[in-house]
Structure 1
Amino acid sequence: MDRPVYIALEGSEGCGKSTQSRRLADALGATLTRETGGTAVGQRLRAILHDTDVTDLDDRAEALIVAADRAQHIAQVVRPSLESGTPVVSDRSVYSTLAYQGYGRGLDVDELRTLNEWAIGDTTPDLVILLRVPDDVARRRMERRELDRFERAGDDFHARVDAGFAEMSAADPERWAIVDASAPLDEVATTIRSIVQDRLGV
C-alpha cells in the first residue's frame, strides 16, 4: 500500500491479542494502541467498563461508553498517526463492539454499526487479524489473572461473542484473516507477519 496501514487484532478473552499486537507493532515500527483505554480519556472510560463493582450498567450505556472511547481514540491516536505516515496496530477495534455489545449483549448490530460509523468516520482497519483459541486453552490462560467485568460475563456470553467474530470474518474475508493462536508465540507472530506482508505488502 502507498499509505500507512491500520491493523486491528481481534478475538475473545485469552487469545493473546495484547502480546501479538505488541510484537507486530515492533516489527512494523507502528504505533501500538488499544481499545478501550488508548487515550487518557479512554482510560477513565475503560475503568468503568471493566470494573467488577459496576453491576448495573445498562447495555446501551455500555455501548455508548465504548463508542465514546473509540471516537476519542480515532481522533487522538489513530488518525494523527496515519496522517503523520506511521502505521497503527490496535488491540481491538470497532469490530469488538459488534461482537461484544451486539452478538454478546444482544443489541441490534446494525444500530451499533451506524453509531460507530458516526464515531470513527472513514477510519476503519485495513486488515483484521482474528486470533482463535480452543475454549480450554482460553480458560487456562484466564485462570492466571484476575478477571474483569467482561471476562466474568459467562460461557454463554463468550460463545455468542465467538460466534459474532466468526460471522463477521466469514462475511468479509478480504479484510479478515484467522490465525490459530494456540500455537507457540513465535509461530503465531510469524504467521501474522506473513499475512500482513501478503495482504498489505508491508
Structure 2
Amino acid sequence: MALSQTGWATIFFTIPGLISFALGILAENKKPGDDAIKLVQSSGLITCHYPHDSSIALGVVSILLLSVSTISALGALFFPYDGKAVPHSKLWKSKLFLVFLVLSLVLYFTSEGLLMWATITESNHRKYNTHHQALDACPTAKTGLFGGAAFLSLDTTLFWLICMILIANVRSEHFEEIEDEKGSYGQVTNEYGPAMAGHYASKV
C-alpha cells in the first residue's frame, strides 16, 4: 500500500530523530571511564592520554540529525498536502496545537544544547589534556549527559508526532467546514432555482 504525503513527511523527520537518540546512547556508552585514561606526570605537568573512541563523532552526528529532524518536522507541519493549504490564522486558533508546538521547540533546544555541551566538553578535554595542578583522575564530560540529551531528543521526536496528529485534525476540520459551506450554498441554489423558473414561466 502506497504511503500518503503525510506518511512520507512523518518518516522524514521521525527516522533522523530516532537515529539521533540511538547515537546519543552510543556516545554515552563509548565515553571512556576513568580506568581507561592514562594519567602521566612529567616535569611538574600532568598529561591525560585518552583512548581513541567515537563518542565525540557520535555526538556531532546526533546533533546534526536532531536538527534535520526538527527542520523536517516544521516543514511537514505547514506543507500544503495535495495542494491544499490551511490558512495560518486557522492553525493559530488551535490552542492545543500551539501548546505542543512550543513544547516541541523547547525540548529541541534543550536536547540540542545538552548534546552540544557534552560533545564540546569532551572535545576540549582531549584538546587541552595537559594540566598544571594535581589530579586524582582525568576529567571527562559528566556521566549521563549524553544519555539524558539522547532521551530528550527522543521526546522531541515524539512531540513532533503529536503535533502532526493535531495539525491533521485541524486540516480535517477546516476542509469539512469548507465542504459544509459549499453544501449549504448548493441547497439554497437548488431550492430557489425551480421557484424562480416557475415564476418567469407564468409571466410568459
Task: Give the TM-score of the pair, scaled to structure 2.
Answer: 0.27
Rg bigger for which structure? 2
- Structure having the larger proportion of residues in helix: 2
Task: Give the TM-score of the pair, scaled to structure 1.
Answer: 0.28
- Structure having the larger proportion of residues in strand: 1
